[in-house]
Amino acid sequence: MLCGVCFLVFCSFFLFLLGLGQIIWGDRFLVEERLRGLQEQKESRMIREELQKPLWERLGKPIWKKLVQVIGTKMTAGWSSSLQHRLVAAGFPLGLEPGEFAVIQFFASLLVGGAFLSYGLLAGWDYLRVAVLAGTGLVFGYLFPQVYLNVRISKRQRQVLKDLPVLLDLLTISVQAGLGFDMAMVKVTERFKGVLGEEFKRVLQEIKMGKPRRDALKDMANRIAVEDFSSFVSALTQADQLGVSIADILHLQSQQIRRKRRQRAQEQAMQAPVKMLFPLVFFIFPAIFVVLLGPALIQIMQSF
DSSP 175-207: HHTT--HHHHHHHHHHH--SHHHHHHHHHHHHH
Q: Examine the domain organization and report whether 163 and 221 are in the same domain.
A: yes
Among 152, 177, 207, give the residue marking a domain's end. Answer: 152
Predicted local confidence at residue 256, as pLDDT:
87
In a domain, 31, yes or no: no
Interatomic CA distance for residues 73 and 143, integer angstroms:
21
Question: What tens digit of pLDDT does each residue of 244-292 get?
Answer: 788 888 888 888 888 888 888 888 888 888 888 888 778 887 888 777 7
Under-70 pLDDT residues of the chain? 1-35, 37-38, 40-60, 304
The answer to whether residues 121 and 208 belong to one domain is no
Q: Give start and end residues of each alpha helix (H) in the chain.
A: 2-52, 55, 61-74, 77-89, 98-122, 127-176, 181-191, 195-208, 213-224, 227-242, 246-279, 285-303
Q: How many domains does the chain have?
A: 2
Q: Is residue 101 domain-shared with residue 173, that is, in the same domain?
A: no
Give the pLDDT confidence score for residue 18 in this predicted structure: 52
Query: What predicted TM-score, i.e. pTM, was given to this entire model?
Result: 0.68
Residue 44 within any structural domain of the chain: no
Residue 90 domain flag: yes
- If asked whether residues 120 and 205 sit together in one domain, one would say no
Domain shared by 181 and 109, yes or no: no
Does any domain span residue 8? Answer: no
Residue 116 lies in a domain: yes
CB 201 within 8 A of CB 220: no
Task: Name the nearest CA neighbour of 239 among 252, 227, 229.
Answer: 252
Model pLDDT, residue 290: 77
The verdict on 93 and 180 lying in the same domain is no
pLDDT of residue 151: 92
Range of the domain at 128: 62-152
Residue among 158, 231, 148 nearest 196 (CA): 158
Instruction: Please check whether residue 201 lies inside any domain of the structure.
Output: yes
231 and 142 both lie in a single domain: no
* Cα gap 271→170, rounded to integer Å: 33
Clarify whether residues 148 and 190 are in a common domain: no
Q: Are 210 and 234 in a shared domain?
A: yes
pLDDT at residue 1 in the model: 54
Same domain, 179 and 239: yes
Kindly state whether residues 228 and 252 are assigned to the same domain. yes
Which CATH number is 188's domain given? Answer: 1.20.81
Asked if residue 101 and residue 74 are part of one domain, the reply reads yes
**Is residue 85 domain-resident?**
yes
